[in-house]
Structure 1
Amino acid sequence: MLVTIVVPIYNSEKFLSRCLKSIQNQTYKNIEVIMVNDGSQDNSLKICLEFANKDSRFTVINKENGGVSSARNVGIEKANGEYINFIDPDDWIDNAMIERLYSTIKKYNSDISICNYVKEYVYNDEQKQLINVDRLIKTYDRIQALNEMLKPNSFKGFVWNKLFSLNLIKENKIKFDENINFCEDLLFCCETMLKAKKIVYDNSPFYHYFIHSNNITSGFNIKKISSLDAIEKIINLLDKSGVSILKKTYITYYMHMNISLLLNSIKINANKNVINQLKMNLFKYRLTEVRSKKIFLSCLLSRLSTKLTYFLWAGRGI
C-alpha cells in the first residue's frame, strides 16, 4: 500500500537534506513524498528540486507562504496514499519508522499508529541512533488515546510521530486550522482520534525531534497564545462528540497554558490588550472543573492577585 509523507518546508536549508535523506532511506519503499515549499526565501526549494530530480517518489509543490498548517493541508489535498504521515523539515527519522508504523497499523487493524520519539539538541553533534528499549505495543480506543496525549512522557499530540488513515481524514473533512499557530497539531490529532475506532502505540523511538533556536516551540513565543483557541475548540469538540468525560482534563490543560502565557507575557511586557485578555481567560471555566490541585490554586491566586502570582512565579515559588 502507498504511504504519503508530507513535508511542510519554510526556510529550512540548514537541516532539510538530512530530513529528506532519512525519508529516502526508508526500508518501506512504497512511499510518495510531497514536499510543500511554503514560500521559502533560502535554498530550500533548490534542495527539494534536487531530490525530486533524482527520486521519482519525491514531488515538489511550490506555494506562497501561508504557514505550516496551510502547507500540510495542501499535502492532504494532493495525497494519493492509503495512509499519511507528516514530517517536519528540521527533524529526521530512523530507517524503519514508516515500515514499523505501517505494519503496526495493518496488524492491529487500526486507524492511527504511533511511535515514540527522541529529542535531539543542536549543540550535540552526535546523531543518536535508535535507543534499545523493550518493545511495548498498546491499543487504545478514542477516549483512552485522548486522555493519554496529555500525560507526561506520553506520545503527545504531535502529528509527526503518527501514521493516519487518509480515508478517515478525507471522509470527515479534517484539516489543520490555518488560524492557529501553536497546538494546531494537537487539535488535528484530537479531531482524527475522535473519529477513530482504534489507535495503536509502539513505544520504539523512531522519530528524532530536533530542538534549536528557530523552533516555534522552544522558549516563549507570543504566537503560543493561539494554543488557547486550539484547546477551546477541542473542549467544544468533546462536548459535541459525546465524550465530555474528558472535558475537565482539557480544561485543566487550558488553565495551565493560560496561566503560563499570562506570566510570561507580563515578564516580556507584552501588549496590555493581550495581558488583559489572558486575565479574563482565568474566568472562562469554573474552578471546580480544574482537576489538578496545583493548577486550581494557581488559578485561584491569579484571579485574586496577578501581581502576587507573578511575584511568586518569578521567584519560582509556584
Structure 2
Amino acid sequence: MLVSIIIPVYNAEKFIAKCLDSIKNQTYKNLEIILINDGSTDNSGEICEEYCKSDDRFKVIHKKNGGVSSARNLGLSKVSGDYICFIDPDDWIEADMIEHLYELTQKYNCDMGICGYYKEENKTILNKNSNREILTYSKYDALNKILDEEGFKGFLWNKIFSKKIIGKNTRFVEDIHFCEDLLFVTQCILNSSKIVYDNKPYYHYIIHENNVSKSKYSLKKTTSLDAIEKIIDLLDGNEQIQINNFKNYYMNMNISLLMNYIKENQSDKVIYDKLKNNLFKYNINDMTTKSVKLACLLSRINIKGCYFIWNKIN
C-alpha cells in the first residue's frame, strides 16, 4: 500500500533536513512525500528541491503563503496513497513509525492508527512514558477519549489515516488557526469504524521559539473557540458522546483567552465582548471539572475579581 505524507513547510530551514532525513530513512519504503512550500522566505524551498532531486518519492509544490491549513488542503488534493500521514517540518520521527502505524491498522482492521509521542525541549523529554499498551476504540470511545490529557489527543502528526475516512469533503477550515487539527481529526474519527492506539512514542514533537508563542492571547487563538463550537455542533445529540467534555474544554479555553486578554492589556472591545458573552454560552452544570465550573461562575459574577484570583494562582 502507498502511504502519502503531507508536510506543510514555512521558514523551516533550521530544522527541515532532520525531519526529511527521518522520513527518507523509514523502514516502510512505499511512500509518497508531498512537501508544500507555503511561501517560505528562507532557504526551505531550495532544501525541498534538493530532496526531490535525490529521491523521487519526494515532490514539492511551491505556493503563495496562505497558512498551514491551506497548505495541507493543497497536499490532500494531490495525494495518491491509500493511507495519509501529516508531519510538521520542525519535528522528526522514529525510523519505523510509518511501518508500525500501517501494520497496526492492518493487524487490528482499523481505519486510523495512532502512536505516542515525545515532547522535547532543548533535547530534554518533557513527558513521561506510561506503561506500554495497545488499545482499540470504537469511534465513540475514541471521541470520548480525545481530550484526555495523557491520551492520544487531537494532533495530526501521531496518526495515520485511511484515505477513505478523509474522502473529498473532509478538509481543514482555513480561517481557523488553532484547534483546526482537533476539528479535522474529530471529523475523521466520525467517518471511522475502529481506531487503534499504541502509546509507545514514535514521534518527536520539538518545542522551540518558532512554535511556542510568547503571547497567551492572540486574535488567531480565538479561532480555537470556533473549532470547538463546530465540534460540539457536529457531535451534539449523539447519546454515545460525552458532549459536556467538549463544552468544558470550550469554556476553559474561553476563560483562558479572556484572562490573558486582560493581562496583556488588549484593546479590541469587540473581541472582549465576545469572550465575555461566551461565558454564558453553556450551563455551569454542563462543566465537568470543578476548576472550570468555579472559574465560569466567578467570571460571570465579576470578571475583574476572577482575573485577580487567576493572576495570583498563575
Mapped contact 1:32–1:81 kept (Cα < 8 A) = yes
Mapped contact 1:143–1:243 kept (Cα < 8 A) = no
Shift of 1:272: 2.5
TM-score, with structure 1 as normaliser: 0.94
1:311 aligns with 2:308: yes
2:3 alignment partner in structure 1: 3
Separation in structure 2 between the aligned mates of residue 217 and residue 205 of structure 1, nearest angstrom: 25
- The aligned amino acid for 1:61 is I
* 1:180-219 paired onto structure 2 within 5 Å: 180-215=176-211
Shift of 1:217: 6.0
Q: RMSD of aligned C-alpha atoms?
A: 1.7
1:291 aligns with 2:298: no
* 1:119-134 paired onto structure 2 within 5 Å: 119-121=119-121, 123-124=122-123
* 1:242-281 paired onto structure 2 within 5 Å: 242-243=238-239, 245-270=241-266, 271-281=268-278
2:76 alignment partner in structure 1: 76
* Change in 2 beyond 3 A, CA 1:249/1:68: same
1:60 alignment partner in structure 2: 60
Structure 2 residue ranges without an equivalent (≥5): none
* 1:96-135 paired onto structure 2 within 5 Å: 96-121=96-121, 123-124=122-123, 135=132
Task: Please give the per-residue CA displacement for 1:80-134, whole angstroms capped at 9, x wherever unaligned.
Answer: 000000000000000010000000011111010000000111x33x7x7xx9875
State the secondary structure of the residue aligned to 1:191: helix
Separation in structure 1 between the aligned mates of residue 82 and residue 15 of structure 2, nearest angstrom: 28
Q: How many residues align?
A: 310
TM-score, with structure 2 as normaliser: 0.95
State the secondary structure of the residue aligned to 2:15: helix
Mapped contact 2:143–2:241 kept (Cα < 8 A) = no
- The aligned amino acid for 1:191 is Q
State the secondary structure of the residue aligned to 2:56: coil
| Identity of matched residues, % | 53
Mapped contact 2:217–2:261 kept (Cα < 8 A) = no
2:216 alignment partner in structure 1: 220
Task: Please give the per-residue CA displacement for 1:129-183, whole angstroms capped at 9, x wherever unaligned.
Answer: xx98753110001111111111111111000000001122115x10011010000
* Change in 2 beyond 3 A, CA 1:26/1:217: farther
Larger displacement relative to structure 2 (83-92 or 292-301): 292-301
Mapped contact 2:259–2:307 kept (Cα < 8 A) = yes
Structure 1 residue ranges without an equivalent (≥5): none
Separation in structure 2 between the aligned mates of residue 291 and residue 233 of structure 1, nearest angstrom: 19
* Change in 2 beyond 3 A, CA 1:167/1:217: farther
Mapped contact 1:114–1:163 kept (Cα < 8 A) = yes
Mapped contact 2:28–2:96 kept (Cα < 8 A) = yes
Task: Please give the per-residue CA displacement for 1:255-275, whole angstroms capped at 9, x wherever unaligned.
Answer: 011001100111111123222
Mapped contact 1:108–1:200 kept (Cα < 8 A) = yes
1:26 alignment partner in structure 2: 26
Separation in structure 2 between the aligned mates of residue 228 and residue 148 of structure 1, nearest angstrom: 19
1:138 aligns with 2:135: yes
Shift of 1:9: 0.5
Mapped contact 2:119–2:206 kept (Cα < 8 A) = yes
- The aligned amino acid for 2:171 is K
Separation in structure 2 between the aligned mates of residue 217 and residue 115 of structure 1, nearest angstrom: 26
* Change in 2 beyond 3 A, CA 1:53/1:178: same
Mapped contact 1:212–1:218 kept (Cα < 8 A) = no
